[in-house]
Structure formats: C-alpha cells, structure tokens
C-alpha cells in the first residue's frame, strides 16, 4: 500500500449506463486496493444497484448520490440507460447536464486531487480546471473505438464526416489497414450521435470537448490486445494516453451461492463440456420483434443446446414488448432454456459446459467471455458495439452473423449457420482457438496490476501543485 502522503483522492463521474459504471467501479477497486481514496458519483438508484465494493475496500470508496433533476419526457425513476428505450436516452443526457452545479459543489467541498470523467460530462474538465483539480478523461471505449473517433478537430464540429456512409470507412488519420468502421445499419441506428438530440449537444461533440479539456486520457485497453491503436492515439493526442488494462472481473465464485444460480447450474451440469451457446445482449440492447423471431428460429435450427437471457423490455417506458415465436419454448424444451430475469453471467461463462457466447459486442461482456476463453458470435445493436465487433472479427476472436448491410436484418439460416460454424465446425476452429488464446492475456492480474500502477504513478507525480502544498509534500 502507498505511503499515506502519497495517497490520492480521486473523484469518478461515469456516464449513467451500467456498461460504463461497471468498469469505473472495477478501476475504483484496483486503485483503492493501493490505498487511494475514491469518491464514486452517480444517481441514487444506480448506486443502490451497483455491486458493493468488498468489505476491505469499502472504507476507501465513498458512494456519492447525486439526485437527477426532473426533465420533461424522462420517466420518473429512470436513472440509467437500461431503464429506457433508446429514443428516451437523450432526456437522460439532458438531466445529467443539469448536474453541473452539484458536481462543482461536491468537488469544491471535497477537494480531490483528480477527477476521472466519462465522455458525457463535457463540462467537467473546465470545472476541474477552475478549482485546480487535475482531470482524466477515462473512456470505456477500446483503443480502436477511440482511434476511430479520432482527433479533437474531427469530433468537435468538423465537416470531415457528415453522412452515415462517411462512418463506414476507415478514417484518413489511421495509417494501417483495418476493418474498424461502422456497418451502414449500425451507424444509421445511432446517427443522432452526429446530428444531435434533446440535450442540445451531440455525443461526438461531448467526446471532442472532453478530449480537449482533460489533462490525461485513460482508456480500457492494453498493448497485448491492440498495440497499433494505442500508438496511434499517442500520435494524434498531444497529451498523455494511458491504457488501464481490460478490467476483467474478479473470481466468479466470490459472488456466493443463490437459488437462481443453483437452478441454472443444475441444467448446465447436465450438458456436455463446451456444447452450450450462452445468449445475452446486455442490459441496454433489445432485438426488434423481427430480429427476435429470426434469432429464436436460428437457435432452434442450429440443434445446439443454449441458455438465453432474454430482455423483452428496456425499462417501464418501453412500450414495444417483444415475444418469442408460438410454441418455441415447448419445441426446444430440454435443449434450450429462456430466462427472463437477472442471472450471474460470470458464473455461467465460467461453467465448463459453455462453449460460445452469442453477444451484442459490448466490451464488458466480451472481456468476461474471453477471460474464460469462450468463442464469440456477434450480433450488434447500438453505441460502439459495431467498432468492438470489427476488432474482434479482425483478430478472429469473434464471428459476426451475416446481416443486410442497409437495415441490419438477419435470417434464421445465417443465425443457425454462424452458431454451428463457431461452435462445432472445422472451419470455425480458428475462433475457438483464438478465443482460448485470449484467456491468459485478458485474465492476467499481473498485466492488470502493471497498467494500474503506471496510471497511478503518473497521477501521483503530476498531482496539481496546490494539492502538493496542502498535503505538506515537498515539491
């Protein structure tokens, strides 16, 4: 543990999405384990829903609740993106922007050394600078995603990319050949990141402003996985860039036994080793009715055993409920399970009977699966999932289910063929082997420790001068 005078106080302000808060909390635990104090800021219900830090770290991690102001069209109680259908998330951004004053008051009264903030609070950097607090843009995007977003000028109001088609090509600042770009249907679904939303600020502008104002850029990446992208980021940003590692979750067995897990485990125990396809699309992605029907029929056609965690609604404001095809569950009984509530995903992925994971390509899920060497079958929905999928595809770690380029539609045949390819066929052996090869890289605690230390050492050495004076340390 660090000497007391060396210890930092770091405030963390992630975006209101569990796919963002979870890696922030993983990093918070790693830093707290080295004696540093963390103030973790989020909306009250999010704090209540996040897994609590282990008892030995709890005294060093303060969970700070910042109530969201009411905003027209934002349903009451909606405090995370998983509470909302996609078209309502813009109002969550509007509410989040109204936290500027409470965040400024908190920073002023608690006087941390540094604040680590996400892409959304583009206003956090200027507040920190005014208060003499160091600022870190900690983006949960991987190197390829951040590299595709590009330099500040490209995201902050430049005319370089105007149409959806412009985002389907590798940008001009990437000097090496790569598949990393959006497919047309992927960018069309989220084109409001470019054109704007009810908050009045585009996501692209937010990221550009955050990059411009911060002192340090940190991202969820490692040289073992994407060295060329990290080198590019150091070239295009005139400030320190630190990968923080993959932030793989801890031991699944540490989560304890529950009745839910005992029931799931009983079914998994009865399946052959490596035979089961685990299907889950995260907390913020939901297939359309047409997509759901084709995925279900594809799973049925594949003949493979599967365990499917199916989310049919995104929060109480989601009026578009989706339904499985008539008779589907009866026809797959014994071979397939459809589960409609929370599951211990880590425990499932760790189980020997699971061989592959049909996933949306969210990086949290990819890292969890790869930490157990599970092969990935990719079906993207929103956000940066498409860019994640391209790097997984490029590395032959994940196989994308073929879809219509313009609208993203899929056929049951392509679902079934993709599943069989990755799970059992000789042609897909490369995906199974490369995924297994990722296990020692993604799950290596020594590698993770090194990245955490590198960032912390920099933050200690470069803490703002007023903090050095106030803590009585020699400058």
* Cα–Cα distance list, 75 to 92, 139, 193, 287 (Å): 9, 27, 22, 22
* Cα–Cα distance list, 185 to 78, 231, 396, 408, 410 (Å): 28, 29, 22, 5, 12
Report how far residue 462's alpha carbon sits from residue 216's, in angstroms, rounded to the nearest whole number.
10
Q: Which of 101-110, 311-320, 325-334, 414-423 has the lowest mean pLDDT?
A: 311-320
Check whether 4 has a pLDDT greater than 80: no
Evaluate whether 40 touches 65 at the Cβ level (below 8 Å): no
Check whether 473 has a pLDDT greater than 70: no
Neighbouring C-beta atoms of residue 109, cutoff 10 Å: 7
Query: Can you list the alpha helix ranges (DSSP code H) found in 190-270?
Result: 192-195, 203-213, 227-236, 259-269
Q: 378: part of which helix (H) or strand (E)?
A: strand 375-378
Q: What is the mean pLDDT of residues 229-248?
A: 95
Task: Answer yes or no: same fold for 4-247+444-470 and 252-441.
Answer: yes
Check whether 254 has a pLDDT greater than 70: no
Q: Read off the pLDDT band of 470 (50, 70, 90).
A: very low
- CATH 3.40.50.2000 for domain 252-441: yes
Q: What is the mean pLDDT of residues 166-194?
A: 93
- CATH 3.40.50.2000 for domain 4-247+444-470: yes
Q: Read off the pLDDT band of 474 (50, 70, 90).
A: very low
Evaluate whether 346 touches 278 at the Cβ level (below 8 Å): no
* Cα–Cα distance list, 167 to 154, 208, 328 (Å): 12, 16, 38
Report how far residue 336's alpha carbon sits from residue 305's, in angstroms, rounded to the nearest whole number.
5
Check whether 252 has a pLDDT greater than 80: no
Q: What is the mean pLDDT of residues 94-101?
A: 97
Return the pLDDT at 153.
86
Bridge partners (DSSP) of residue 9 are: 37
Proportion of the chain above pLDDT 70, given as a percent: 94
Question: 350-369 pLDDT, tens per residue?
Answer: 999 999 999 999 999 999 99
What angle in degrees, to the nearest 10, is found between the helix axes of 363-370 and 429-442? 90
Check whether 443 has a pLDDT greater than 90: no
Burial level of 350, CB count in 10 A (0-12/13-18/19+)?
A: middle
Q: What is the mean pLDDT of residues 278-306?
A: 93
Q: Read off the pLDDT band of 471 (50, 70, 90).
A: very low
pTM recorded for the entire structure:
0.91
Report how far residue 307's alpha carbon sits from residue 275's, in angstroms, rounded to the nearest whole number.
11
Check whether 472 has a pLDDT greater than 90: no
Neighbouring C-beta atoms of residue 328, cutoff 10 Å: 18
Report how far residue 221's alpha carbon sits from residue 229's, in angstroms, rounded to the nearest whole number.
9
Give domain limits for the chain.
4-247+444-470, 252-441
Check whether 251 has a pLDDT greater than 90: no
* Alpha-carbon dihedral sign for residues 354, 279, 220, 237: positive
Return the pLDDT at 197.
87
Report how far residue 280's alpha carbon sits from residue 295's, in angstroms, rounded to the nearest whole number.
12
Return the pLDDT at 55.
94
Q: Read off the pLDDT band of 469 (50, 70, 90).
A: very low
Proportion of the chain above pLDDT 90, given as a percent: 80
Return the pLDDT at 253.
63
Check whether 2 has a pLDDT greater than 80: no
Neighbouring C-beta atoms of residue 246, cutoff 10 Å: 29
Report how far residue 443's alpha carbon sits from residue 446's, in angstroms, rounded to the nearest whole number.
9
Q: Which of 181-190, 206-215, 235-244, 316-325 has the lowest mean pLDDT?
A: 316-325
Question: 367-411 pLDDT, tens per residue?
Answer: 999 999 999 999 999 889 999 999 999 999 999 999 999 999 999
Q: What is the largest CA-CA distance in the chain?
A: 73
Q: Which of 295-304, 432-441, 462-471 has the lowest mean pLDDT?
A: 462-471
Return the pLDDT at 468.
46
How distant is the alpha carbon of residue 268 from its chain centre? 27
Return the pLDDT at 322.
87
């Amino acid at each position: 543990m660090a000497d007391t005078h060396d210890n930092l106080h770091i405030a963390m302000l992630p975006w209101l999405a569990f796919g963002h808060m979870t890696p922030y909390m993983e990093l918070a635990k790693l830093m707290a384990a080295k004696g540093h104090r963390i103030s973790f800021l989020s909306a009250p219900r999010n704090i209540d829903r996040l897994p609590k830090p282990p008892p030995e770290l709890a005294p060093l991690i303060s969970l700070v609740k910042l109530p969201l102001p009411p905003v027209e069209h934002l349903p009451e109680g909606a405090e995370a993106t998983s509470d909302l259908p996609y078209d309502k998330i813009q109002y969550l951004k509007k509410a989040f922007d109204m936290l500027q004053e409470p965040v400024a008051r908190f920073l002023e009264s608690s006087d941390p050394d540094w604040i680590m903030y996400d892409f959304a609070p583009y206003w956090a950097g200027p507040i920190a600078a005014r208060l003499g607090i160091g600022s870190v843009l900690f983006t949960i995007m991987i190197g390829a995603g951040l590299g595709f977003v590009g330099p500040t000028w490209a995201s902050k109001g430049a005319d370089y990319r105007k149409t959806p088609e412009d985002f389907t090509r590798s940008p001009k600042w990437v000097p090496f050949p790569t598949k990393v770009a959006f497919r047309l249907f992927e960018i069309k679904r989220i084109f409001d990141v470019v054109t704007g939303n009810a908050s009045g600020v585009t996501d692209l502008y937010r990221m550009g402003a955050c990059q411009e104002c911060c002192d340090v850029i940190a991202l969820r990446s490692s040289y073992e996985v994407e060295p060329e992208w990290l080198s590019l980021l150091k070239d295009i940003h005139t400030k320190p860039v630190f990968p923080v590692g993959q932030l793989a979750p801890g031991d699944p067995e540490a989560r304890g036994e529950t009745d839910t897990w005992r029931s799931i485990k009983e079914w998994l125990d009865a399946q052959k080793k490596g035979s089961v396809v685990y299907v889950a699309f995260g907390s913020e992605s939901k297939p359309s009715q047409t997509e759901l029907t084709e995925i279900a029929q594809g799973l049925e056609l594949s003949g493979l055993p599967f365990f499917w965690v199916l989310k049919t609604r995104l929060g109480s404001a989601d009026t578009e409920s989706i339904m499985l095809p008539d008779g589907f569950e009866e026809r797959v009984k014994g071979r397939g399970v459809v589960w409609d509530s929370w599951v211990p995903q880590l425990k499932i992925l760790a189980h020997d009977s699971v061989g592959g994971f049909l996933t949306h390509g969210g990086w949290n899920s990819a890292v969890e699966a790869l930490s157990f060497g599970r092969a990935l079958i990719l079906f993207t929905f929103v956000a940066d999932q498409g860019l994640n999928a391209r790097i997984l595809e490029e590395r032959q770690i994940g196989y994308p289910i073929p879809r219509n380029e313009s609208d993203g539609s899929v056929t049951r045949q392509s679902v079934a063929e993709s599943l069989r390819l990755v799970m059992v066929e000789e042609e897909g052996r490369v995906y199974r082997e490369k995924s297994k090869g990722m296990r020692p890289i993604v799950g290596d605690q020594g590698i993770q420790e090194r990245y955490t230390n590198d960032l912390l050492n920099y933050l200690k050495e470069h803490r703002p001068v007023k903090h050095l004076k106030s803590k009585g340390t020699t400058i």
